[in-house]
Amino acid sequence: MRHLVKFSLSALSAMFCMTALHAQTGEQNAKQPIDEVCEFLQQCGVYFIATADGDQPRVRPFGTSVIYENRLYIQTGKRKRVAKQLMANPKIEICAYDQSKGRWLRIEATAVPDERIEAKQFILDKYPSLKSMYSATDNNTFVLYLKNVTATFSSFTDEPKVVKF
């Protein structure tokens, strides 16, 4: 039952990715690269983000990913070490693995902070459980969109598929 609930929540979250994009662009049918990436992250539920702390790589789990204004967003807290690392060096890599399909996704990108209350509120509305720790006006919520994205979908059986946005 627990896995069924997780799948249902992941599926709903993936729909948020598509719905948010199409509501803002008016597109109805074509799946865009940003949709594929957001859906994959949502279906995995947890992905891992790598940053740099000086010359030391740092990796930790994340779980937020939404499309807002045709950009892929993630969220963390400004008081966390990861936020300080992102401010010092915004180049990141993300890795997610979908065990049910034997596929993984690697993303290279630059994380760009967005201080707008609307962007923060959008993400918090998509992840209501975060509202117990964050608010759009708390001076701690840190939302970032990814730019210069190169995403590579891989498996042991298929050729890698690379998308950019």
* DSSP conformation letters of the chain: -HHHHHHHHHHHHHHHHHHHHHHHH---SPPPHHHHHHHHHHHHS-EEEEEEETTEEEEEEE---EEETTEEEEEEETTSHHHHHHHH--EEEEEEEETTTTEEEEEEEEEEEE--HHHHHHHHHH-GGGGGT--TTSS-EEEEEEEEEEEEEEESSS--EEEE-
Q: How confident is the model at residue 81 (pLDDT cuts 50, 70, 90)?
A: very high
| 1-10, 16-25, 98-107: which is most confident | 98-107
Contact 90, 84 (CB under 8 A): no
Alpha-carbon distance values, 69 to 40, 50, 122, 123, 129 (Å): 19, 25, 10, 12, 22
pTM above 0.85, yes or no: no
Contact 42, 156 (CB under 8 A): no
Q: How confident is the model at residue 1 (pLDDT cuts 50, 70, 90)?
A: very low
Q: How far apart are CA 94 and CA 130, in angstroms?
A: 21
Counting the structural domains of the chain, the total is: 1
- Does the pLDDT at position 4 exceed 90? no
pLDDT digits over 23-79, tens only? 444 555 678 999 999 999 999 999 999 999 999 999 999 999 999 999 999 999 999
Domain coverage including residue 99: 2-164
Mean pLDDT of the region 105-123: 98
- Does the pLDDT at position 9 exceed 80? no
Q: How far apart are CA 25 and CA 27, in angstroms?
A: 5
The predicted pLDDT at position 75 comes to 98
Beta pairing partners, 105: 96, 153
The predicted pLDDT at position 37 comes to 98
CATH of the domain at 84: 2.30.110.10
pLDDT digits over 120-148, tens only? 999 999 999 999 999 999 999 999 999 99
